[in-house]
Structure 1
Amino acid sequence: MGVFTHESQGTSAIPPARLFKAFILDGDNLIPKVVPQAVKSVERIEGNGGPGTIRKITFGEGSKYKYGKHRIDVMDPEHYTCCFSVIEGDGLSDNIENISTETKIVASPDGGSIVKRTSKYQTKGDFQLTEEHFQGGKERATMIFKGIETYLVAHPDLYN
């Protein structure tokens, strides 16, 4: 068994509180509306959006995956942090046992945000992950993030 960590970082002109409200707290509603090609729908199966909440994400057309079920492990609006685990779906395989992701939004010096994302993949046996394994998720995450950012710039009165 191995653990592989993948880190990514992006910047935004949107301040952390507003970005967190849109991207994390209302992401289940906003993401399918803004980037349906990446996420077709999000269905809350259990919970109220806080820790323990389970949601089913149905990915958009052309995605290599059909769906994933996520469990929210940490939801900390005060520190703009959200952690979730993939508990079911075709992203998990015979070789990947668990995926956990932390998203943290911090203030940037220019008044915008830095979004830091760390994903840990627990593999089965001696399976080795390569950069290719992360590429699809990285592209989808960038598409979603940029879609939300563009939406917020176009709608400056929302999520304040």
Structure 2
Amino acid sequence: MAHIISHTEILNVDAADAWMCCKHSDKVLPDLLPEFFAKTEILEGDGGPGTLRVLHFGPAIPQAGAAKERLDTVDDATMTLSYTVVEGDPRYVNVTGVVSFASTGEKQTKATWTSKYDVVGEAGPPEHVKNITALMFKTFEKAVQSKKTATHTETLDASPDAIWSAVKQENAILPKALPHLFESCTFAKGNGEVGSIRISKMGPAIPDAGELVEQVDVFDDAEKKVGYTVLKGDPRFKYVTAVVQYAPGPTAGTTTATWNATFVPVEENGVLDSKFVVAVWKARRGWGRCAKLTHSLTHTHTQSQSAWPGRRGSSRNLGFVFGGAAGAPGLCGGVTVTQRERTTIDSINQSNNQSTTPPPPPLLCSALLSSAPF
């Protein structure tokens, strides 16, 4: 006959925050409770259903050794996680458990753990597991209460649609636009939707960073909003999660970008700087600008095919596209061209005047991205 043991704790934090700590307990617990949880080893999976992990217990419970668990469900909607113990304390078999979080008020959460098990021999109830669970819940509360926040807002001179289009293509954009920061960006799971895992290999400007591993938590096309959790990254932080949103800016064709992050630093006075995020925003802005320029270039070429045999006034000369002589300031689709971009464009014009074929739009995009003042 199966036995049941349970524990309930009231935590003075928001349920969503406690749930996020539970989902990422493989990082939170060894950091804050190393005497009980030495480390968590992921054998298979990415933290979702089917993940196989080993909990290595610390010196406070030397008799426990390690326990291998399989995650059966990880439900964000109900903030519930269920698991099966594959290998563990030999006194208990057929062990399953459910952990859930429910809001009971502002910054108040009911955390519940329930486990079913069979006993081998004369073993009594696993009260030590119940006590560890109570400690784990209070650790989640402590982690949330010690978290810090960071925010940054900036106006970008490209439309929200253009910026959002760049967000969807940034695995290709970032290594080209910011090669000193990003060597490569690839999805290890998914393709950008919620639950996707992205691995970014850092560039030479961050030589000791290695890889940045992020999980997509939010991806909202209608609101142009994306949220992520850093699974592996800067060792100065135990936990980082953020939401970025792109809204219409103060004037037509501009975007107000807002970044809100929550983090737990290793050092008490640690801060999370927004410079990295701003650099990425400017890369997206550069892509948005070049997308508009490319559209204008293509449109002008369509309207002016008869002018193509390499003459300076033809649409192949980008000075014409911008509505001014080569080297002069101009506009394209409402986008002001900076002097730095202008210089790059003029060099393209000079090269193009040696040919009778129009420059491909990707060449223009690459030039603008590489010349954008990041």
Which bin holds the TM-score, normalised by the shorter protein? 0.7 to 0.9
Quick check: 1:4–1:129 contact (8 Å CA) kept in 2?
Answer: no
Q: TM-score normalised to the size of structure 2?
A: 0.38
Q: Which has the higher strand share?
A: 1
CA distance 1:18–1:107, change in 2 (3 Å): same
Task: Letter of the 1:155 partner, please give it.
Answer: K
1:107-146 matched pairs, under 5 angstroms: 107-124=103-120, 127=121, 130=124, 133-146=125-138
Larger radius of gyration: 2
- RMSD (Å), alpha carbons: 1.7
Verify the 8 A CA contact 1:52 1:71 in the aligned structure 2: yes
Q: How many Å apart are 1:14 and its aligned residue?
A: 0.9
Letter of the 2:51 counterpart = T
Contact 2:57 2:64 in 1 (8 A): yes
Q: Name the SS for the 1:145 alignment partner.
A: helix
In structure 1, the gaps of 5 or more residues are none
Task: Provide the C-alpha distance between the structure 1 equivalents of 2:12 and 2:127, rounded to a whole number of angstroms.
Answer: 25
Task: Check the 8 A contact 2:41/2:53 in 1, yes or no.
Answer: yes
Task: Report the TM-score, using the length of structure 1 for normalisation.
Answer: 0.86
Structure 1 or 2: larger helix share?
2
Return the structure number with greater relative CO, CA threshold 8 A, min gap 6.
1
State the Cα deviation string for residues 119-149 of structure 1 (Å, max 9, x = none): 000235xx4653xx32211221122221221
Gaps of 5+ in 2: 150-239, 242-261, 263-374
Q: 1:147 to 1:111 in 2, by over 3 A?
A: closer
Task: State the alpha-carbon separation in 2 of the partners of residues 44 and 57 from structure 1.
Answer: 9
Give structure 1 regions of 4+ aligned residues with deviation exceeding 4 angstroms: none
Structure 2 residue identity aligned to 1:55 = R
Q: State the one-letter code of the partner of 2:112.
A: K
Q: Distance in 2 between matches of 1:34 and 1:9?
A: 21
Question: Matches of 2:100 and 2:46 in 1, distance apart?
Answer: 20
Q: How many Å apart are 1:65 and its aligned residue? A: 0.3
Q: Given the alignment, which residue of 101, 105, 108 partners 2:101?
A: 105
Selected match of 1:147 from 109, 120, 139: 139
Deviation at 1:78, TM superposition (A): 1.1
User: How do 1:1-160 residues align onto structure 2 when only pairs under 5 Å count?
Assistant: 2-22=1-21, 24-63=22-61, 64-89=63-88, 91=89, 93=90, 95-124=91-120, 127=121, 130=124, 133-157=125-149
Residue range with higher mean Cα deviation, 136-145 or 44-53: 136-145
Query: Residues 54 and 68 of structure 2 are in contact (CA less than 8 Å); yes or no, is this contact kept in structure 1?
Result: yes
Structure 1 counterpart of 2:109, one-letter code: S
